Amino acid sequence: MREVIVETSRVKSLLLEVAGWQGHLAGQHVDIRLTAEDGYQAQRSYSIASPPEDEFVTLTVERVENGEVSPYLVEELRSGDQFELRGPIGGYFVWTIAMGGPLCVVAGGSGIAPLMAMLRHRDWRNSRIPAVLLYSSRTLEDVIYRKELDAMARRDPDLQVVGTLTRKQPEEWTGYRRRIDTSMLADVCFPPDRTPKIYVCGPTLFVEDVSSFLVELGHDAIAIKTERFGPTGGPAQ
């Protein structure tokens, strides 16, 4: 591990130098495996939050209460520590600028990680593909990458970043103040006749709700790609 970035009180990004890394596509994940001295092993998946253009592989990890692996990664892991990593994995939940747009990404909580890789990739390439992010978090303090997203949106007229805070909102908050629903998606997402590429990532219930709302609005189910996170905050338990 080369660097740690504190994103929120529960979330850190780990910048990793991976031996033999061949590169990846935005949206892919890695499987990591930890082995304790007594032989006990635990395996988890984490989405890669960095774009393919970055030097290091970034995993954004949320510390889960009573978690087995995330507290270790967030609190214990030090530069020089080793663990096994397999990847990059997954070709379904992937976006590259070559795939075109417009791009609509919908994130719930730590589901922002693979979508951030996509937005960072788009930003790195100075792409003009129209893109919108709808990001649902509980409170302002839980918004991961907030400063970076604000900066991206400010300098890029083709990127719109819209947030909703579902539990608590500061007075001056100008975003939405409720769970994502059909009317919010209708306002924020590109309409079906523009055939946007849609990616939804977050907890299972969130993903299933958002997908069905999008289908209700007339989007083709095939155009909506989903990734469900388990309670550990990555694609696999």
Element (H, E) at 213: helix 204-216
Rg (CA), the chain: 17
Residue of 56, 83, 124, 173 that binds other proteins (CB under 8 A): 83
Residue of 4, 182, 203, 217 that binds other proteins (CB under 8 A): 203
From the list 39-47, 138-146, 159-167, 185-193, the region that binds other proteins by CB under 8 A is 39-47
Query: In whole angstroms, how close is the CB of 5 to other proteins at the nearest point?
Result: 20
Backbone φ/ψ region at 80: left (φ over 0), alpha (ψ -120 to 50), beta: left
Residue 17 near other proteins by CB under 8 A: no
CA distance 213 to 198: 12
Across 112-122, b (16+ Cβ under 10 Å) vs e yields: bbbbbbbbbbb
CA distance 177 to 165: 5
From the list 3-11, 37-45, 100-108, 119-127, the region that binds other proteins by CB under 8 A is 37-45
Residue of 22, 41, 79, 126 that binds other proteins (CB under 8 A): 41
**Vertex 18 angle, CA 13 and 24, to 5°:** 80
Residue 102 near other proteins by CB under 8 A: no
Q: Which residues bind other proteins (CB under 8 A)?
A: 29, 31, 33-38, 40-43, 45, 66, 68, 72, 76-78, 81-84, 86-87, 89-93, 203-205, 208, 222, 225-231, 235-237
